[in-house]
Structure 1
Amino acid sequence: MTLNKRRICVVVTARPSYSRIKTAMLAMKEHPEIELQVVLAASSLLERYGNASRIIEKDGFDIAARVYNVLEGENLTSSARTTGVGIIELASVFERLSPHAVVTIADRFETMATAVAASYMNIPLIHIQGGEVTGNIDEKVRHAVSKLSDVHLVASENARARLIKMGEDPKMIFNTGCPSIDIARMVSECNVSGLVNGFDAKYGGVGKPVDYKSPYAVVMQHPVTTEYEKSRSQVELTLNVMESLNIPVIWFWPNVDAGSDGTSKGIRAFRERSSQNKFYFLKNMEPVDFLALLKNSMVLVGNSSVGIRECAYLGVPVVNIGSRQNGRVRGTNVIDVEHDFESLKSAILKQIAHGPYSASHLYGDGYSGQRIAEILAKVDLTINKQITY
């Protein structure tokens, strides 16, 4: 423990959460007034979801604690139980680390455990990316975490205005932009083709490896928790569309959500019946490499927020399927479609024909991490919160 430094504990619960906070963690690690404490929990530690812990350690971060709290089932009941176990385990971790503040990221269901444990232990809670709108369970989680939080670091002015309308103190809401856009800026400034050429040896997947120097599409489709019983049929439709296009496809496995078991079964069944000559399935990539992969692609298909955020900055054409990102502010690079074969196929072909879009700064200018570190070093940390309207 370092004297006279603020102990800021960042809890990372899933592989996408790391890209949302990486540059802020790097800035905090180097800040003379901050002692960074990194806690990994939930699916960030699991091999079948990409095991983000290896990437985080490779980036030079010491792990202060690991919390294994994911229960099998990948349904609504296991999500609730996973959250409950997370509260119990994180309470013990926070008691041992004694942080001055805890940082929780975005809107995944596991973040509720971080928020409840910190709040009940009178530890100031800092929320990254509150104030946004998407629908489904993420919406409830995000706004619930916002109400438990004491400091808000939002990604857009639109999100800041929404939190003020929700009764949060304007003085404690800071529009920093999204730290993942910092990585997008780095990627936009580097030789992307040089990066992707080394991926064959670096990442092992299933199926026929893609020639990264040739045109390809990327698919990231996660289950929608309010439609989890449809997850298999929804992913099977997308698989059939991509197969009909007869183009190389890099497909990422889903997050750990209610319905991900159905999504995974749909992918495995497809692999068994298909020749897979055009499909390559991956679990995870390092954040810089992942965005370089997207920047170099023809189109991103699916329902991941990366299509709304980072792809807007990178100008990558996106086809967003279904309701998972409903309400989230998007750039001109996104076409929204429902789960319909012809509509989806037509939208993908339209985006491929269009090619790259102009860069958008909807979610930041690429310098968020340093702003966040400076705010966390100086902001008044308090747990005394009164809601006003």
Structure 2
Amino acid sequence: MKLMVVFGTRPEVIKLAPVIEAARHLDGIELLSCSTGQHRQMLDQALACFGLQADIDLGLMRDNQTLPELTARLIESLTHTYQQHRPDVVVVQGDTTTAFAGALAAFYQRIPVAHVEAGLRTGDPYSPFPEEINRAMIARLARWHFTPTSKATRNLLAEGIAPEHITQCGNTVIDAIGLIQQKWAQHPYQGEAADLFPDQDVVLVTTHRRENFGQGLENICEALLQLGREYPQLGFVFPVHLNPQVQEVVYQRLADIPNLRLMPPVDFETSLYLQSRSVLILTDSGGIQEEAPSFGVPAVVMRQHTERSEGIDAGFATLAGTDIDPILEAARGWLGAPERRARLQGQPNPYGDGKASQRMLQVLLNEGNGARHGHR
């Protein structure tokens, strides 16, 4: 079976790296990895973290690209790539424009699609934007739906996806964390973040969501200003996303806070290290919501909706929105209750057990060879 794994952003690489690694060691799979280059710098950073190099690099990133322009280039370029290499199965992950265009171009070529991390929903088509509609559209195009949790499975069943096409297998990001932890067992982390606030507890901050641009981001910065003053004993670490709409606001508002360190985006390993050192995380990242429970660290989710409510239900996270007062209330609730944080230590991660990649590939090996020709 010729398997083509398509990715274009840092989160996709992180969650597909363990799938690629596992596929390399399985008989019966001819593996091709295809990078669209949707996010160039952060994509390359993630590839280097796992020692990966794409077999095919489409290099489609452009400065200030619009969603329609990017989507059109992706469909055209991926169509040509599929025609040239003729994979039996195309694998896409999550909810990016690369994933949606990759699935649509494969459908046009009658190539079956496997969707990793299927079934996530907020119920609001504009939150997150455009990700919510991307993943809903991929669900109409995919042949295999690999869901991370029972809630994601229920979402797809409610949308009419046949149960025989759904495999609940956990989230591959937990597999990826396992790869990094194996690395640390041999060589403890010695990277750029090792010297940040060495004698202080750390609060990690990340924000990048498009729907938070503008007033939401202004509110997040104001909340951080207040928290920095209230908790001078804590070190706040903020890797700032490369998007100019994030950089301009953050560096203008937060450049001179003594116990806040602004820094460029970090690679996956450094992000995990910072999470492992943190007493609290303030984030609008979906990935970090999934990763933090592996370290027993609580998160304040600075979004109006989350498609990852399992962490909230399990007591690992608080959904605060982007208004100043709810962010402050949620952060104070965690920082002022060390016994509440201590209860998270050793609790299982609600998003997976580290074996998702193996489960997916076994399904594809069992069913993938005949799927292109319409066999079930």
Q: Which residue, out of 100, 103, 115, partners 1:127?
A: 115
CA distance in structure 1 between the partners assigned to 2:310 and 2:169 by the alignment = 16
TM-score normalised by structure 1 residue count: 0.82
**Residue number in structure 2 paired with 1:377:** 365
Match of 1:320 among 301, 314, 322: 301
**1:200 corresponds to:** 192
State yes or no: 1:87 paired with 2:72.
no
Within the alignment, does 1:13 sit opposite 2:4 as a pair? no
The match for 2:319 is: 336
Cα deviation for residue 133 of structure 1 reads 1.4
Alignment-derived partner of residue 243 in structure 1: 228
SS at match of 1:217: strand
1:255-281: per-residue Cα shift (whole Å, max 9, x none)?
7xxxx4322211221355x25553131
Distance 1:67 1:212 in 2: 41
Counterpart Cα distance in 2 of 1:334 and 1:100: 40
- Report what 1:299 is aligned to: 280
Q: Which amino acid aligns with 1:215?
A: D
CA RMSD for the aligned pairs? 2.8
1:254 and 2:241 aligned: yes
Structure 1 residues 24 and 265: CA distance shift in structure 2, 3 A: same
* Counterpart secondary structure, 2:96: coil
Letter in 2 for 1:114: G
- Deviation (angstroms), 1:161: 2.2
The code of the aligned residue for 1:230 comes to: Q
Q: Which amino acid aligns with 2:63?
A: E
Which letter maps to 2:192? D
Kindly provide the amino acid, as one letter, of the partner of residue 249 in structure 1. F
Cα-to-partner distance string for 1:202-238 (whole Å, 9 max, x where unaligned) = 9xxxxxx61356411111112243x544354244334
Cα 1:296/1:341, change in 2 over 3 Å: same
TM-score for both structures, normalised by structure 2: 0.85
Gapped runs of 5+ residues in structure 1? 1-5, 203-208
Contact 1:248 1:278 in 2 (8 A): yes
Deviations 1:153-173 (A, max 9, x none): 110122122212212221121
Aligned match for 1:61, one of 52, 55, 66: 52
Distance 1:232 1:186 in 2: 33
In the alignment, the residues of structure 2 paired with residue 73 and residue 235 of structure 1 have an alpha-carbon distance, to the nearest angstrom, of: 24
Matched ranges for 1:1-389 at <5 A? 6-44=1-39, 46-47=40-41, 50=42, 52-57=43-48, 59-73=50-64, 78-134=66-122, 135=124, 136=127, 137=129, 138-185=131-178, 195-196=188-189, 198-200=190-192, 210-212=196-198, 214-225=200-211, 228-230=213-215, 232-244=217-229, 245-246=231-232, 247-254=234-241, 260-270=243-253, 272=255, 274=256, 278-285=260-267, 287-325=268-306, 328-330=309-311, 331-352=314-335, 353-354=337-338, 355-356=341-342, 357-358=344-345, 359-380=347-368, 381-382=370-371
Aligned mates of 2:319, 2:309 — CA distance in 1: 12
Question: In 2, are the aligned partners of 1:316 and 1:333 still within 8 Å (CA)?
Answer: yes
Shift of 1:239: 4.0
Contact kept? 2:103, 2:138, Cα under 8 Å: yes
Asked if the contact 2:174–2:352 (Cα under 8 Å) also holds between the matched residues in 1, the reply is yes
Code of the aligned partner of 1:262: Q
Structure 1 pair 107/195, CA: closer, same or farther in 2 (3 Å)? same
- The offset of 1:100, in angstroms, is 0.9
Residue 21 of structure 1 deviates from its aligned partner by: 1.7
Identity %: 17
Are the counterparts in 1 of residues 13 and 46 from structure 2 also a CA contact under 8 Å?
no
Please say if residues 21 and 105 of structure 1, whose CA atoms lie closer than 8 Å, have aligned partners that are also in contact. Answer: yes
Q: Report the Cα offset of residue 309 of structure 1.
A: 1.3
Shift of 1:296: 1.9
Q: CA deviation at 1:26?
A: 0.5
* 1:351–1:23 CA distance, 2 compared to 1 (3 A): same
Q: CA deviation at 1:313?
A: 3.3
Question: What is the rounded CA distance, in whole Å, between the counterparts of 2:138 and 2:103 in structure 1?
Answer: 6
Indicate conservation of the 8 Å contact 1:181/1:366, yes or no.
yes
Deviations 1:245-303 (A, max 9, x none): 43322212337xxxx4322211221355x255531313131x34422321221111021
Alignment coverage as a number of residue pairs: 359
Shift of 1:86: 1.0
Q: Kindly provide the CA deviation profile for residues 121-158 of structure 1, in whole angstroms up to 9, marking residues without a partner as x.
A: 11111101111113423221111111111111110122
Label 1:32 to 1:90 Cα distance change in 2 as closer, same or farther (>3 A): same
Residues 223 and 254, structure 1, Cα contact 8 Å, conserved in 2: no
Distance apart, 1:191 and its partner CA: 6.4
